[in-house]
Structure formats: structure tokens, C-alpha cells
Structure 1
């Protein structure tokens, strides 16, 4: 039996890459047709009591921008838990008008954010608990929109992806990939399948009914998870809970990271968990993304399929941004980063291969 020659390898590569992009394009189309997009809504009459819950560690720079919008939503209570901050987070939150809880020391076996959320969940009095990060911007009508979608979907667990606000060139390099991963890999209709692996969530905004939160034991369910949001959704689903996702569009926004190094640290913390803590899978993912997005630009343009692969790699991020409502010229121009994005992401994989990761002054085992 003869060994595959270069032409056979080239053909296999071309077909695999086209299949990869074809799957992602089909998934994006399905999501464009099925994903709920939030729009401003008044608070519904007879609504349940609502608690807005903000875990905050060293967030004094974000709260003056985000907390006033949260406080103006008309929730029954807004609780900010100061998780051992060193920058005056508690004082800023109290001055702006929130009720501030002082976080207890981190117990053995817990990670920081799940522990902060667990304390918030125990202190909250609402029938609906909405956990939201300190960097999420709530526009007028956002709470009504979240409650409307929670009711419309009939879900026990709703997670919303805020629209990304990326202002500097550095934060545009990798941060928008959060949306690309969500919208091009997981078709929303798969959430209807019973298997808990068909789950996704964004810890920037999670809304649960108190009864669901109590039944699953709260964030203790994911006490030692780095990617606690997705794990929480999966385990709620495994216990019979119904999941729903939505795009925040104009009512919810977020500025996650302020620079390229911040993006590396944030994504490096989560990438290992996203790849099942498998070093082999991390290496395969890094290599494949370079092969799919970067390699076509190193091959002769006249080679079969190369121009098509280049076009697909350029179009993907632009199409994702259109779906999420990021439609300024700089947002759309992010598609041009397609060929270099896998190279820019290599330090993320390198961080994720380490046995320990650091985040907000704490170190965790992977």
C-alpha cells in the first residue's frame, strides 16, 4: 500500500478545513435565525422579587461606570460583595448607593468567584437571583428585558452575553473571540437536548429562580471550577433544569479586558477548562487553528481552495460582529485579524498548559 503523497495530504487538509469552516458557517446561520436578542422592556406587572448580585474583587475602576445603571433598574435589592479587594471597591460601591457585603475568607477547596457568588446567593432575598459582573453595563430597560426573556423561555437558568465594547487596538485582538466561540461552535437548538454537555453560559450575567438555586446547592455545585459558568449550566441541566441563552445587544454591554495582556491572562485562566483540562487537546487546538486560519496565507494563492479558505477566515469575525450588533467600521474591520489571530492566541495556550494559573491575586491548580 502506497503512502499518501503530498497531493493526498493537501487534499485532506483542504477538505478538512472546508468542512471546519462549513460547520462554523452553518452554526452561525442557525444561531442568527434562533438566538433571542434582548431589547428594552418595562418591568412586568406582578413580577417576582428580584436581587441583583455583584461579586467584586478590585473593581473600583469599573463600578463608577457600571453601578449607577444597575441601581437604576428598579430591582428590589442590589448587593455588592467585596471579595477581599485592595483598591477601595467597598467604599466606592457604598458611596454609589449599593448595599455592600464584606466577603468572608476563602475556604479550602473553593475558588474565588464561586465563593463570592455563594455568599451573595445566601444573603439575597429575591425570588429571581441575577448574578452580574462588575464590568457589565446595564442600560435602561435591561432588567425588564432579562425578566421578559426568563419568563418567555420558561427557563430555570438564563445566561445573557452582553455586547462587547472594545475601545483600544489591544483589546480588539482577542477579546471578541468570546462571541465567535459561542456563536460558531454551539447551535442554540442543541440546548433542547437532555445531555448536560449541550450547555453554555456566560458568568457575566446569569439569572436563576431561587428555587432552582436552592435545589442544586448554589455555587457550591462548582466550588472549585475555573470555568464555573459553563460547569454551572451543565450541572443544573443534569439535574433537570432548563437552560436558555440570549444576546444582550443594546441593553447590556461589557468591557472585559483593557489590553492584549489582560486578554491573555483572562483567556489563559479559562482555556484549560474549556479544553477539558487535556494538554493534548490544547496542543491540537492551537495547531489546528494555525493550520485553518494562518496557513492559507502562506500557501500559493493559485493552489486549489486556498482563496476560498482565505475568504472564509476573513469573513467569520465580521459576520459574528454583525450578529451581536457590533457594526462600527472598526468592529467590522476586526475580520482582517483572522490570519494572525491564532498566532496572537498562542500565549493563551502556553498559559493554559501550566499546572497553576493566577487570577486577581490568587493562584489555582488546573
Structure 2
């Protein structure tokens, strides 16, 4: 057995072992929300930035309106598909977004306008594709109070229907749950931070103290950037799993997943093309290469098993336990190949999202 192969086997094993250990730690320490009645206090503003979301709002906005918050505000960010009309017909208060100022990206600007209009003591930003089930707001407020956090971010349970959306979209949970052990959030260093822009609940005082979304005005990965910069300024972070309280259907096809992940991938890798290339090569080496190498090589069986088991174990932790969810493990060896278009899209000089172009 060559020294090169032994080094490869050791490096891949350490990487997969770290991810498995992190998943176990998060299974034991990351809270899972449970439905609760909405308390009378504190006053809550549920804030929904929306750009061309007419297809999502009929499915998600009624649940948001039924939570019992003091106000629900929808900001129509220059939609061309009738988003504002749909939101009004469903009973929401709709704000008309102002033109995008120089130096701002779309979502941070929409969120900042919502914060200016909001009256609550707690500001909860949520995406239009997030489903709020009965008792979800009470669950979020309970965890915000229990954790004493300035920012609580929640990982909603993924809801994937078609084969196309199952290919890549569930990897969001893999990234969130296998790379950062939740207890590290207690460390003072800002790099030990995470957040999910699908749901971010702020104490208003902390949000305003750091300048609101002006803090991340030109960030594509604004959720993680906000968490890091809030923490750097003394803020306290907390994370939770959505459980039965909150769900999300992010992308409804493989091309949509490629477009969505391609938008953020370069920012996730520190805006470095070199790191993007290294990441693509490394994942091919860890998850795909073991199925190309001869099965008789020592340790290959273990690497193959890990490639098949990782996604089902993540799905079990998030509550996705149907046979079709667990069968996603079969995609493990080919997932790096399916992700190559994401890397190629991220390598471009500019990225396009919802009709706007940004520097990555």
C-alpha cells in the first residue's frame, strides 16, 4: 500500500469522523422547537421580505398570519408577478419597497426597510418559502427567552417533493449540522458563528445597537455575516432546529438548486476561487473516489459506507424519516458530481439572483 494512499485514507477518515462527531454533538445539544401558545409579551413583528414570491405566499403566509403576532409586515421588493396583490388578498399589511440604493444588496435592503417600519420589541425575519405551523411563534419566543440570545436563528425542516430538488437541496442541513458544533457558539471568537436567513429572531435593542442590516448591506451570505459581526460586538447567538414547528421548501428543481447555491458558494468559501476549486476536488476525493478505487484496498469499505450513511443520518436528526428521505443516502457518491455546476456558477465574475446582479 503506497504512502500516498495511506495519507489520503487518513485525511478522508479524519474529515468524515469530524463530521460524524459534529452531527452527534448537535443531536445532543441543538434544541428542537416544540409548539407553544403565543404569549402576550413581548411585542413581536413578523417581517417577510418578498421578491416574486406569488407562488409561495398562498402556501406560507396564512400560517404566518395565524401566529398571533402584534404585526405581520410583507415588503414587496420590486416584484413583477403580483406578489403584493397576493399578500394583500391574504390579509397582510404590504409595504412597497424603495429602489435599491448604491452599495446595498437586495435582501439586506428589504430587511432594513421592514425593521424601520416595525414596532415590535422582537423582530423576526422569515423567508416567503418558510411554513409556520400552529404554535411556531410561541416556540421561537420560548427558545429566545431560554437562550437569552440577542439573535436566535432556526433551521426549518426541509420539505423536498420532486427528485430534482432532492439531489442538492438537502445538503443545506448537512452543511449546517456537520461542520460547526453548536457549543462552539459560546466561544468569544466571531468565526465560531452560524445563522440561517430563513428565520432570524432579534431582540430589537441588540439589532439597533449594531446598526441593523446596514451591518451587512453588501453581503450575499448576509445571515452568517450578521451573526459573526453581531458576535464581534458582544452579541449572544443561539441556534435551534425547527422540528414540527417550522418547515421550508427552498428550491423546486435541480436547476433552481444550482442557481441558489451557486449564488452563495463563493461567499461561503471566503470569496476565493482557489478555495472553491479545492473544495470541489476534496469532496470528489472523499465521497466519489472510494467508489472508483478497487474495493480490495484497506479502508475503502469504510469510506464507501460513510458516503452512503451521512445524508440519512442528517435527515434522521432533522426529522425527515420517510423511506424516500433515507434513500437520499444513495446519492452520496454522486453528490460531488451533481454539485459541479454549483462550483462553476460560483466561479463566475458576477452572480445573478432574482433579476439582479452582484459581485460574489
Confirm or deny a common fold (TM above 0.5): yes
Q: Aligned Cα RMSD in Å?
A: 0.6
Matches within 5 A, 1:108-187: 108-187=102-181
Q: Which residue of 2 aligns with 1:3?
A: none
Q: Distance in 2 between matches of 1:266 and 1:194?
A: 31
Shift of 1:355: 1.1
Distance of 1:35 and 1:211 partners within structure 2: 25
In the alignment, what sits opposite 1:58? 52
What's 1:224 paired with? 218
Moved over 6 A (4+): none
Match of 1:324 in 2: 318
The one-character-per-residue Cα deviations of 1:110-163 (angstroms, maximum 9, x if unpaired) are 000000000000000000000000010000000000000000000000000100
Which residue among 253, 259, 264 is the counterpart of 2:253? 259
Q: How much does 1:249 deviate?
A: 1.1
Report the Cα offset of residue 360 of structure 1.
Answer: 0.3
1:277-288 matches, within 5 Å, as 277-288=271-282
Q: Structure 1 residue 16 and structure 2 residue 11: aligned?
A: yes
Match of 2:23 among 20, 23, 28: 28
Give the distance between the partners of 1:80 and 1:188, measured in 2 at CA.
Answer: 31
Report how many residues are paired: 360
CA distance in 1, matches of 2:109, 2:210: 15
- Partners in 1 of 2:61 and 2:184 — Cα distance? 35
Distance 1:226 1:217 in 2: 18
- List alignment gaps of at least 5 residues for structure 1: 1-5
Partner-residue secondary structure (3-state), 1:241: coil
Aligned partner of 2:37 among 22, 34, 42: 42
Aligned to 1:104: 98
Report matched runs for 1:316-355 at 5 Å: 316-355=310-349
- State the TM-score, normalizing by the size of structure 1: 0.98
**Residue matched to 1:68:** 62
Q: What residue number does 1:242 align with?
A: 236
